[in-house]
Amino acid sequence: MAALRPTHTKSIDALVVSTTPAALWAPGAGLITRLMGGDLTSQGANTVYILNGSATPGTIATYIVGAAGHVPFALGNGARGTAAGTALFMKAAADGTINGSLFGRLESF
């Protein structure tokens, strides 16, 4: 497969996270999100999980973000959602606030 290029960027502005998944990126009807990378920052040290869906989520990625640090990450051609319209969610090991951005693609199912 040829290298895919991201077509969309999603800003994360003061997303409050906890052990309960919070909506991160909803692709819209008939579309699937392909997460290709991003850059996360946290006000305090935390472990964050990016999930495919919230009911029975599959973990796409897990990152440990240091206090006042940032974690850039790239997933190559990306991690594709499993069903059309399924949003990406984020949860964390502890309560906190996450900022940053994600990039990827929205694709037809």
Is 1 inside a domain boundary? no
Cβ neighbourhood burial of 100 (10 Å; 0-12, 13-18, 19+): buried
Closest by CA position to 65, among listed 46, 49, 37: 46
CATH number at residue 100: 2.60.120
> What's the number of domains the chain is made of?
1
Run means of pLDDT, 10 residues per run, the chain, 109 residues? 90 93 92 95 91 82 87 94 91 93 93
Is 32 inside a domain boundary? yes
pLDDT number for residue 63:
92
pLDDT number for residue 21:
92
Is 2 inside a domain boundary? no
Is 69 inside a domain boundary? yes
Chain centre distance of CA 50:
5
What is the residue range of 95's domain? 8-108
pLDDT number for residue 109:
76
Is 90 inside a domain boundary? yes
pTM: 0.90
pLDDT number for residue 44:
87
Closest by CA position to 66, among listed 36, 90, 96, 88: 96
Look up residue 51 and give its amino acid: L
pLDDT number for residue 24:
92
Is 58 inside a domain boundary? yes
